[in-house]
Every structure is written in structure tokens, then in C-alpha cells.
Copies of this chain bind each other. A is one copy, B any other.
């Protein structure tokens, strides 16, 4: 396989955030590929913490690769409280260059060329692509989320078959990116039981696990009876907390995997930016009521946009249960969904992410991150809806 073949197989050309919006005269662009930190600003204190770290100088510019020790201690307590299981700051926690950086390091520490890895479809675009980069073999596992009258269900039998036939690792995001569904406690327990039975390792990306809508309950895999030696959890303050510009996340997992992740980090980017790590002091430390308000505002936005999408014949959309993504399935419009996304970008200055980024079977869907200014998001979805109607009339 030549290098060109290998990169073509990776297929990272349309990664979310890469398609620059087209700005027309007098119009603002609407970029649904990521959230708007102006509409939902960070809680106060983050930039101040970075400034303090800068002024503190040498001791903060460089940290051990795993992160500054005092921050690891502080974050370990918060994460233990949030997830409901102990976190060892010395051997079970690492500060990562964003949650994305943590995902790359975790999979690099676990997957050998030829290894079979179970990947949920649809799920975060990089899961599949990192496995391809590492030479792993993808075992796809379907997530059924289209029936809005029932909880979403991942194909547990398929996971069990995969584990029985030597699949070493399951990777998934919860809440799921791009569909916004939250795994039920029963589903998480079923995954734990398979992992326990077959010694399968599970990496769970819980980046959005603080933005859970009322009526949903969130189950932390790491506190659900799984052997801690077989579970790694990724989180970070990039999304709900709007601190993405600092590229800081965390990984909680067993010592041998973190040891290897640290070795990969040494050749990957050395360490999470030393000063930026300080934003973690604000995490789980926001003013009282801040998180509740953030959830409520996102819920209102979700409701607005779901209603808009449902006003068009042929569009199917499941209301988000956690996080800030909608993943509506579009009707047949006579052009491929990717071309429709491109026309939105060029004609309406609206960027959405094609569903094909998240699964080979979901090309008819589009993903929107609705963590945006409410007025502008509604106006943009009205335009999208109108374009769909024009093409299906």
C-alpha cells in the first residue's frame, strides 16, 4: 500500500471544522461544525488562571508529561465525585492535549496493527480514523437511535460476538456524537458484562457528559462494575464549558495504559500546553446555577430546532438527550447529502457536517452543533429547512 493509498483510506478530508464558511458581503456565516463560545462563553476564571500560570513562570511552562501534579490532585477529586468511582491522581489520571489528543493517545497505547476494534456507527469521526491510522481492523457495531419512542440501543449481541472472536477493544462516545443519545444503564451494564466476561478493553469518550437534559439519567461506565484495568474514560472542558481554545482534556484509566499514553505523548506533543492546564482549576468549579442554566438554554435551543426540522416532510430527527448535537436524517433530494451540505456552505454561508463523517451508513444525515446564538441558529435552520423544501417539492 502506498502512502497515497493509505491516506485515501483514512478519508480525513472533510473532518468537522475543516470546511471554511463562505462569507458573503454583509452576511455573517453560521458554522454548525462546532459551538460558538460567544453565545455560550466560558465560566469566569479560565483566562485568569492561564495568566497566573504564565506569571508564575518556569514551574508552569513545563510540566511532567502527565500534567502538573497539583492540578492532577485537584481534578482527581472532582472527577471521582462526578463519575462516582475513585480516581488515583498519581497513577490513574493524565492531562491531555484536548479530549481529541487523549483519544489518540489512548488508542495508540492499546491498538496494535491487525487488532480488531469494535466501533459504534454512527460515532465520532476520529474513532474510525485513528484505528485505520494504527492499522487496526474495524468491527462495526450499529447504534439504533431512529425510533424516538424507545431508548437508543447499541447492538450488544454484535459486541459480544466481536469480543468472543477476539476483538480487543470497544470505543464509543456517551453521550453519542453525532446523535446526542445517552446510553441507558441497562446498555452500559450489558457492555460491562461483555467486557468482564471476555477481558475486552473499553474506551469511553464522555466529553459531553455534563450536558444532560432533564429526564435523562447518565450512567458512568467506570462506576458500573467494570474491572478498572479494562476501562479508560476521556473527558474535558472543551464543550459544555466552552474552553476548547485551550486544548485541555483528561484521561482516567489503568496505570499500564497511562504509562504507554505518556510514552506516546513524549513523541506526540510532549505535554499539554503548560499554562493552559490551569483552566482545569475552573472545571467543576463554576458558579452555582451556571451548569443548570447552560443545560436549560441548550434544551430550549434543541426544542426550537427539532420543531423546525420536524416541520418538513421526510426529515427525521431525534431530540438530543445529552450534548449539543442534532443529527437529522434528510429526505431524498435528488443530490447526494454531501453535495447538499456543500450548497449550503456556498449559497447560504451555513456549515454543517455531512453524516458520512460519522459512519459509512449515515450519509443521508447531517450533524449540527447547536451550541450557538439562538436567534441566528433558528434563522439558519429555517434556511436549511427551506432549501430542503425547495428540493423535495
Specify which of B39, B246, B275 is in contact with A245 (CB 8 Å cutoff): B275
A26 to chain B, nearest CB (A): 17
A58 at the interface (CB under 8 A from B): yes
Task: Decide: A275 near B246, CB < 8 A? Known: A15-B65, A100-B269, A268-B101.
Answer: yes
A130 at the interface (CB under 8 A from B): yes
A279 to chain B, nearest CB (A): 10
Which residues in chain A, 93-117, are within 8 Å of chain B measured between CB atoms? 97-98, 100-101, 104, 108-110, 112-113
| Partner-binding segment picked from A2-10, A142-150, A172-180 | A2-10
Tally of chain A residues near chain B (CB < 8 A): 65
Q: Is the CB of A7 within 8 A of B268?
A: no
Which B residues are CB-close (under 8 A) to A84?
Answer: none
A119 at the interface (CB under 8 A from B): no
Q: Is the CB of A269 within 8 A of B247?
A: yes
A63 to chain B, nearest CB (A): 9
Which B residues are CB-close (under 8 A) to A15?
Answer: 65, 263, 266
Q: Is the CB of A98 within 8 A of B270?
A: yes
CA distance A260 to B133 in the complex (A): 12
CA distance A126 to B269 in the complex (A): 10
A315 at the interface (CB under 8 A from B): no
Which B residues are CB-close (under 8 A) to A57?
Answer: 37-38, 41
Task: Decide: A37 near B13, CB < 8 A? Known: A7-B260, A100-B270, A130-B267.
Answer: no
Closest to A373 in B: B58
Q: Is the CB of A245 within 8 A of B133?
A: no
A54 to chain B, nearest CB (A): 5
A60 to chain B, nearest CB (A): 6
Q: Is the CB of B38 within 8 A of A244?
A: no
Which B residues are CB-close (under 8 A) to A264?
Answer: 12, 133
Task: Decide: A276 near B276, CB < 8 A? Known: A37-B61, A65-B17, A266-B126.
Answer: yes
Closest to A266 in B: B15
Closest to A108 in B: B133
Q: Is the CB of B65 within 8 A of A38?
A: no
Task: Decide: A260 near B113, CB < 8 A? Known: A15-B65, A245-B275, A270-B17.
Answer: no
Q: Is the CB of A269 within 8 A of B266?
A: no
A80 at the interface (CB under 8 A from B): no
CA distance A244 to B275 in the complex (A): 10
12 CB-based A-B contacts, threshold 8 Å: A10-B263, A12-B266, A15-B263, A17-B65, A18-B64, A41-B57, A100-B268, A108-B133, A126-B266, A244-B274, A268-B268, A268-B269
- If A18-B65, A36-B58, A37-B57 are given as contacts, then 10 extra A-B residue pairs at C-beta distance below 8 Å, sorted by A number, are A15-B266, A20-B64, A37-B61, A97-B97, A100-B270, A108-B133, A246-B273, A247-B269, A247-B272, A268-B269
